[in-house]
């Protein structure tokens, strides 16, 4: 009960802040590692859309920081060196920051495919059950929440820094590298540039509730309210869905979800809180 009262108080305070400061212009500063801006062009445009549809004249800027990790991004947000982050969901992040409760890719991030060595293709084509899939070890970055989700579902998971995963896959340290349907093509292009001959497996898909969200500091009620207001209006106007269905990255990803020969396995996301599970189902793709 106290949590619901607390949430209501936060919402009321945020609305009052916006009412009494309607013309205040806020800058939303975001940090990324060098070279991956293009990978998140869809999400950046969602952020721009939210600021466009909210009251006030707001803008966002980003800085590139070499070697930046997800954990470091969250430290920067904690210390006020950045003011917003686009990050994959975790219960810890939801508790630590204010989460803007609009899944940015409508749950597409939870559509998981596997990158593997070309010599594994025939073996994976014969996987017909979740138990059989669990006999393969899956590689995941040690700062990806996906690692914990897989482990809690009984998978063999090998964790390592992201920059080491291609080398470890090539060296048979694990069998499959997990990716999401939106970013798998980027990962393959990156692996080829580094001299690896990997492929996206076309016979399997793992699905669970998961997505990117926008996060701001716990005390940043103004920016949180701006983002909530902007995304609500973007949905109501149809702009959000128009962007979702027309952005080139999303078009390619949605094409991968068309009926195919892939065997789809659904698993739980035990990391997801009741609050996030109760987000309006209309904001998800229904998986």
Q: Are 127 and 204 in contact (CB under 8 A)?
A: yes
pLDDT bin (cut points 50, 70, 90) of residue 173 is very high
Contacts (Cβ under 8 Å, ≥6 apart) of 243: 42, 45, 46, 49
Average pLDDT over the chain, rounded to an integer: 89
Cα 192 from Cα 180, distance rounded (Å): 18
Query: What local confidence, expressed as pLDDT, does residue 3 receive?
Result: 43
Q: What is the distance between the terminal CA atoms of the chain, rounded to a whole angstrom?
A: 29
Give pTM, 2 decimals: 0.84
Mean local confidence (pLDDT), 174-192: 90
pLDDT greater at residue 14 or residue 243: 243
- State both tokens at 189: 């292009």
- Rounded CA separation 208/117 (Å): 24
Three-class DSSP category at 113: strand
Q: Are 284 and 161 in contact (CB under 8 A)?
A: no
Asked if residue 199 has pLDDT above 70, the reply is yes
Could you give the CA distance from residue 145 to residue 184 in angstroms, rounded to a whole number? 17
Quick: pLDDT tens for 46-104: 999 999 999 999 998 989 999 888 889 999 999 999 999 999 999 999 999 999 999 99
Per-residue pLDDT averaged across 205-228, rounded?
96
């Amino acid at each position: 009960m106290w949590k619901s009262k607390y949430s209501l108080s936060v919402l009321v305070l945020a609305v009052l802040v916006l009412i009494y400061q309607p013309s205040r212009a806020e800058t939303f500063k975001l940090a990324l590692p060098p070279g991956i801006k293009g990978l998140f062009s869809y999400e950046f445009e969602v952020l721009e859309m939210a600021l466009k549809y909210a009251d006030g004249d707001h803008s966002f800027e980003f800085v590139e920081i070499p070697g930046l990790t997800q954990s470091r991004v969250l430290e920067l947000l904690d210390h006020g060196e950045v003011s917003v982050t686009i990050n994959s969901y975790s219960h810890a992040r939801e508790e630590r920051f204010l989460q803007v409760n609009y899944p940015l890719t409508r749950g597409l991030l939870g559509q998981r495919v596997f990158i593997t060595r070309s010599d594994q293709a025939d073996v994976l084509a014969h996987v017909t059950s979740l138990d059989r899939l669990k006999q393969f070890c899956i590689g995941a970055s040690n700062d990806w929440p996906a690692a914990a989700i897989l482990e809690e579902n009984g998978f063999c998971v090998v964790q390592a820094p992201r920059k080491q995963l291609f080398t470890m896959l090539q060296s048979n340290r694990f069998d499959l590298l997990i990716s999401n349907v939106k970013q798998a093509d980027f990962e393959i292009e990156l692996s080829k540039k580094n001299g690896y001959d990997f492929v996206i497996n076309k016979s399997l898909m793992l699905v669970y509730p998961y997505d990117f969200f926008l996060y701001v500091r716990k005390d940043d009620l103004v920016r949180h309210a701006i983002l909530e207001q902007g995304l609500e209006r973007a949905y109501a106007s149809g702009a959000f869905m128009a962007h979702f269905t027309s952005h080139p990255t999303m078009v390619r990803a949605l094409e991968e979800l068309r009926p195919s020969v892939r065997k789809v396995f659904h698993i739980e996301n035990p990391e997801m809180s009741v609050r996030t599970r109760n987000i309006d189902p209309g904001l998800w793709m229904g998986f």
